[in-house]
Amino acid sequence: MPALDLSALDPEQAAAVRAPRGPVCVLAGAGTGKTRTITHRIAHLVANGHVKADQVLAVTFTARAAGEMRERLRAMGLGGEAGQVQARTFHSAAMRQLRYFWPQVVGDVPWRLLESKFPIVGQAAHRAGLGSSTDLIRDLLSEIEWAKAMLIAPEDYPAGANKYKRDAPADPIRVAQVYAGYESAKTSADGLLLDFSDLLLHTAAALEDFPSVADEFRGRYRSFVVDEYQDVTPLQQRVLDAWLGERDDLTVVGDANQTIYSFTGATPNYLLDFSRRFPDATVVRLERDYRSTPQVVSLANRVIGAARGRIAGTRLALIGQRPDGPEPEFAEHADPTAEAMAVAGRIKKLIAKGVPASEIAVLYRVNAQSEPFEQALTERGIAFQVRGGELFFQRPEVRQAMTALRQVDNRDDLPDDARGGAELITLVRAALAPVGLTAEEPAGAQAKERWSSLLALVQLTEEVVRHDPEMDLTGLLRELATRAEAKHPPTVDGVTLASLHAAKGLEWDAVFLVGVNEGLLPIQHALGDNSGSGESGIEEERRLFYVGVTRAREHLTISWALARSEGGRANRRRSRFLVGLVPDDSPASRIASSAKGPKVDERKRPLCRVCLKPLIGTYATMLGRCRRCPAELDATLLEALTQWRSEKAETLRVREFVIFTDTTLNAIAEQLPTDDTALALIAGIGPKKIESYGADVLAIVASRLRVTSGKTAGQK
Ligand code: ATP
Ligand code: MG
């Protein structure tokens, strides 16, 4: 193996790397090189003959993080192949071990991994006299997972739920019945079904109860490393303890101030209590931040500096190591649409300045916030991907809502005046009620998520009606369908849209934290809530904000909107977490008091090429003219373009809309572009599309123009 270069480490990192075999704890903030430190420590232990590479087991919590660790180890010549360091998630490590030890422990009884818990929980819920809604079942399922992660047995669930002040999806006695029913249903005459938690439980039990298994295992693995240790659950800790036995060759790294998964049972207590448990431990604190500019670091320090409680007491002020960069920006907007348009505009500029789209992220608190950003990026022709989630219009609850709206639209017993104008909003709300749109936010995480998506649809409707007071349900459905189909297929090279939870551990050159409003960050249900670790729910929300801020390497923009929907009442406030952070000279400090607002944003809208008024709505923006403005569409050309698209789709084996949507083809047939510049002016056609299809399209248009012998002048 190559000699290890310790010069790539700072003195504290090197101290952790060089510490003798035995317990080591690295307690440090975001971007200080924790992951780098543990990979180097593994390499150091191996290089100095303290352990063999294949005696090291490195674990973390997500497959992505395990992959990243393997990648960094491979770069140091310690790849993931046989005979090498094992870098895995807790679950995958346990699964391998259980497969190997099962015959010694259980004998002939077969087991298999439970693919879907849903039907079993559903049956158990039915037997316990609970409803069968998908949301309820999913919430029951999460609750059972939480109890198992906390090592709480079914009969102890009611007491546990009370102790940890859980927002239980049903009466705790009933939840306990469902939990018990679920557990017993997994055992049948043909063997055992094990869920992920069972894998961990059985692995721990095999090591705890069978000395021969423990001896064999402990002879095989001698050194353990855990990344992101603040995320460990009591169940995972039990497995780790079983792996270790009486030994203490354990290195852990983590940042208690990035604990954002308390609701799943994760707790930073093991990290914080490490040196109490291992009094001889080498404890290292890292303060130098290698990820972000001093400007971003300073803001991060102020965000977490306001935190209170035991976890906050362990924080260290970070010291930025990178060269200076721009000051973080703060921006207040009239509504989420205006916010999204401004963000998309800034992104366009960053890309023009050379920042790759894949190095840019838009982060929000809940997935339902993504729609206006998907829309604004689409309108600007910027490719994007939604990490850890689906595009808004592809989410199951949104699809159900669209079906419900279509059914209402198809009814012929509705009077016309109930379908349009102000009545349209009432109609939409009523149509969405059976899909889950209650007046008040419901209990349960899944139900809440569904509810916020449905509410986002109502807000979209309000926006559409405000722009076009005569809009009816059929028109609304067409507007929504255009929005849905206009979205570029997600691409990994594009801008990332993600929730703050999904952004953990990742980094980008430019980060936009959006919707930093009271009620969103902190989220409404965290106010006065208890996260389960005995502290206020607000503190976990503050840590989420901190995680968001620390994802940015260089550019950071924090924004919020005053109204829920475009042109709506400005009854929202910016987040309490921003108190003292927004500089007095920031434009964001002023907008609230002056009566600007939508007008500013109106000016940024593209104009109708017929009447020159600002374009409103996606359909219009894509066409480049108002819906009602007259247009001359060359039907023969449209036919030729449609024919070309279908042949192209067949050759490339993709769906037709991936090439161009109907609306884009319409726009081409109306606007008759004669060069790339004219093509680029059509919404839905970005540089990639021009590169792939521009020549084809221009050739088709040109041959049509020749036929009509120049009678139709190219309109630019
Ligand atoms: P997080 O808390 O977000 O998981 P982390 O503490 O694990 O962050 P790393 O991902 O290990 O941080 O490091 C952050 C960045 O800083 C990486 O790009 C890493 O290569 C770089 N880095 C770490 N230590 C040093 C160093 N001593 N010199 C130069 N760059 C470093
Ligand atoms: Mg890390």
pLDDT in tens, 167-198: 888 999 999 999 999 999 988 777 889 999 99
Which pLDDT score, from 0 to 100, does residue 630 have?
67
Does ligand 1 lie within 6 Å of residue 568's CB atom? no
Residues within the annotated binding site for ATP?
28-35
Q: Where are the domains of the chain?
A: 11-102+199-254+265-284, 115-185, 318-390+489-594, 393-485, 635-715
Q: How far is the CA of 60 from the centre of ligand 2 (A)?
A: 10
Distance of CA 35 to the CA centre of its chain: 21
Residue 607 CB-density burial (10 A; 0-12 exposed, 13-18 middle, 19+ buried): middle
CA 666/CA 669 separation, integer angstroms: 5
Mutation choice for ligand 1 from 9, 13, 26, 35, CB with most ligand atoms inside 8 A: 35
Please tell me the residue having the least CA distance from ligand 1 atom 29: 290
Q: How far is the CA of 30 from the centre of ligand 2 (A)?
A: 7
- pLDDT top residue among 517 and 652: 517
Does ligand 1 lie within 6 Å of residue 553's CB atom? no
Give me the sheet containing 111-113, strands edge to edge. 111-113, 191-194, 187-188
What mean pLDDT is predicted for residues 592-596? 39
Homologous superfamily, domain 11-102+199-254+265-284:
P-loop containing nucleotide triphosphate hydrolases (3.40.50.300)
Question: Please, are residues 435 and 127 in contact by the beta-carbon 8 Å criterion?
Answer: no
**Looking at ligand 1, which atom is closest to the CA of residue 13?**
27
Radius of gyration of the chain (CA): 28
Q: What percent of the chain has pLDDT over 70?
A: 90
Tokens of 107: 């004998």
- Kindly report the pTM of this predicted structure: 0.75
Q: Which residues contact 532 (CB under 8 A, 6 or more apart)?
A: 164, 165, 166, 262, 263, 265
CA 340/CA 18 separation, integer angstroms: 48
Q: How far is the CA of 78 from the centre of ligand 1 (A)?
A: 19
Which pLDDT score, from 0 to 100, does residue 597 have?
40
Mutation choice for ligand 1 from 4, 76, 288, 290, CB with most ligand atoms inside 8 A: 290
Residue 263 CB-density burial (10 A; 0-12 exposed, 13-18 middle, 19+ buried): buried
The one-character DSSP state at 387 is T
CA 513/CA 351 separation, integer angstroms: 18
**Looking at ligand 1, which atom is closest to the CA of residue 32?**
6
Which pLDDT score, from 0 to 100, does residue 79 have?
64
Ligand positioned closest to the Cα atom of 17: 1
Mutation choice for ligand 1 from 259, 291, 546, CB with most ligand atoms inside 8 A: 291
Q: Specify the amino acid at residue 68.
A: E
Of the candidate ranges 88-97, 622-631, 674-683, 686-695, the one whose mean pLDDT is the lowest: 622-631
What mean pLDDT is predicted for residues 331-347? 93
The one-character DSSP state at 472 is B
The one-character DSSP state at 263 is G
Cα separations (Å) of 385 from 35, 105, 145, 347, 486? 26, 45, 29, 14, 14
Does ligand 1 lie within 6 Å of residue 482's CB atom? no
Cα separations (Å) of 650 from 503, 638, 644, 647, 653? 37, 18, 10, 5, 5
Q: Which residues contact 35 (CB under 8 A, 6 or more apart)?
A: 68, 69, 72, 227, 253
CA 400/CA 402 separation, integer angstroms: 5
Q: Specify the amino acid at residue 486.
A: A
Cα separations (Å) of 414 from 306, 319, 409, 425, 458? 55, 65, 9, 15, 20
Which pLDDT score, from 0 to 100, does residue 309 have?
81
Please tell me the residue having the least CA distance from ligand 1 atom 13: 33
Quote helix, strand, coil % in the chain, to nearest 5: 55, 10, 35
Hey, which residues does 224 pair with through a beta bridge?
Answer: 57, 250
**Looking at ligand 1, which atom is closest to the CA of residue 550?**
3
Closest CA to 361 of 524, 151, 507, 535: 507
Please tell me the residue having the least CA distance from ligand 1 atom 14: 31
Tokens of 540: 């976990």
Q: Tokens 């707790």: give the residue.
A: 267
Cβ of 288: how many Cβ atoms within 10 Å? Answer: 18
**Looking at ligand 1, which atom is closest to the CA of residue 37?**
11
CA 515/CA 502 separation, integer angstroms: 16
pLDDT per residue as tens digits for the range 251-265: 999 999 999 988 889
Q: Which residues contact 655 (CB under 8 A, 6 or more apart)?
A: 649
The yes-or-no verdict on residue 715 having pLDDT over 60 is: no
Does ligand 1 lie within 6 Å of residue 255's CB atom? yes
What mean pLDDT is predicted for residues 49-69? 86
Of the candidate ranges 20-24, 181-185, 450-454, the one whose mean pLDDT is the lowest: 450-454
Q: Tokens 């294949």: give the residue.
A: 54
Residues constituting the chain: 716
Does ligand 1 lie within 6 Å of residue 551's CB atom? no
Please tell me the residue having the least CA distance from ligand 1 atom 31: 290
Which pLDDT score, from 0 to 100, does residue 603 have?
43
Which pLDDT score, from 0 to 100, does residue 173 have?
95
CA 366/CA 280 separation, integer angstroms: 43
Does ligand 1 lie within 6 Å of residue 290's CB atom? yes
Closest CA to 389 of 474, 300, 503: 503
Question: Please, are residues 363 and 545 in contact by the beta-carbon 8 Å criterion?
Answer: no
Please tell me the residue having the least CA distance from ligand 1 atom 2: 30
Please tell me the residue having the least CA distance from ligand 1 atom 8: 31
- Return the CATH number of 318-390+489-594, one of 3.40.50.300, 3.20.20.70, 1.20.1250.20, 3.30.2130.10: 3.40.50.300
Does ligand 1 lie within 6 Å of residue 292's CB atom? no
pLDDT per residue as tens digits for the range 298-309: 999 999 988 888
Closest CA to 547 of 498, 595, 587: 498
Q: How far is the CA of 557 from the centre of ligand 1 (A)?
A: 22
Q: How far is the CA of 69 from the centre of ligand 2 (A)?
A: 9
Q: Tokens 């391998």: give the residue.
A: 96
**Helix segments in 509-611, DSSP class H:** 537-549, 588-591, 598-604
Q: How far is the CA of 552 from the centre of ligand 2 (A)?
A: 14
CA 540/CA 305 separation, integer angstroms: 14
Distance of CA 441 to the CA centre of its chain: 21
Does ligand 1 lie within 6 Å of residue 34's CB atom? yes
Q: Which residues contact 210 (CB under 8 A, 6 or more apart)?
A: 101, 104, 105
CA 387/CA 62 separation, integer angstroms: 14
Please tell me the residue having the least CA distance from ligand 1 atom 24: 33
Q: Specify the amino acid at residue 615.
A: L
Confidence category of residue 83, pLDDT binned at 50, 70, 90: low
pLDDT per residue as tens digits for the range 342-375: 999 999 999 999 999 999 999 999 988 999 999 8
**Looking at ligand 1, which atom is closest to the CA of residue 255?**
2
The yes-or-no verdict on residue 620 having pLDDT over 80 is: no
**What string of DSSP letters covers 111-138?**
EEE-S--HHHHHHHHHHTT----HHHHH
Which pLDDT score, from 0 to 100, does residue 418 have?
67
Which pLDDT score, from 0 to 100, does residue 212 have?
92
Averaged pLDDT of the chain: 85
**What string of DSSP letters covers 487-500?**
SPPP-TTSEEEEET
Which fold would CATH assign to domain 635-715?
A: DNA polymerase; domain 1 (1.10.150)
> Kind and range of the H or E element at 683?
none
Q: Tokens 């510049």: give the residue.
A: 677
Q: Which residues contact 443 (CB under 8 A, 6 or more apart)?
A: 167, 169
* Backbone CA torsion sign across 623, 624, 626, 630: negative
The one-character DSSP state at 574 is B
Question: Please, are residues 463 and 337 in contact by the beta-carbon 8 Å criterion?
Answer: yes
Q: How far is the CA of 637 from the centre of ligand 1 (A)?
A: 55
pLDDT per residue as tens digits for the range 455-478: 888 888 887 887 777 788 888 888
Mutation choice for ligand 1 from 36, 40, 72, CB with most ligand atoms inside 8 A: 36
Does ligand 1 lie within 6 Å of residue 253's CB atom? no
Q: How far is the CA of 538 from the centre of ligand 2 (A)?
A: 24
pLDDT per residue as tens digits for the range 386-429: 876 677 888 888 888 999 998 888 887 777 666 677 788 888 88
Q: Which residues contact 457 (CB under 8 A, 6 or more apart)?
A: 398, 401, 428, 432, 480
Does ligand 1 lie within 6 Å of residue 30's CB atom? yes
HSE, CB side, 13 Å, CA atoms: give it for residue 269: 12
Q: What percent of the chain has pLDDT over 90?
A: 43
- Torsion angles phi and psi, residue 391, rounded to 5: -55, 145
The yes-or-no verdict on residue 611 having pLDDT over 80 is: no
E strand spans, 355-492: 360-364, 384-386
Tokens of 654: 């993709």
Confidence category of residue 107, pLDDT binned at 50, 70, 90: confident
Confidence category of residue 685, pLDDT binned at 50, 70, 90: confident
HSE, CB side, 13 Å, CA atoms: give it for residue 668: 34
pLDDT per residue as tens digits for the range 201-245: 999 999 999 999 999 999 999 999 999 999 899 999 999 999 999
**Which residues have CB less than 5 Å away from ligand 2 (the ion)?**
34-35
Q: How far is the CA of 228 from the centre of ligand 2 (A)?
A: 7
Q: How far is the CA of 360 from the centre of ligand 2 (A)?
A: 19
Which pLDDT score, from 0 to 100, does residue 690 have?
87
CA 691/CA 714 separation, integer angstroms: 21
Q: How far is the CA of 106 from the centre of ligand 2 (A)?
A: 38
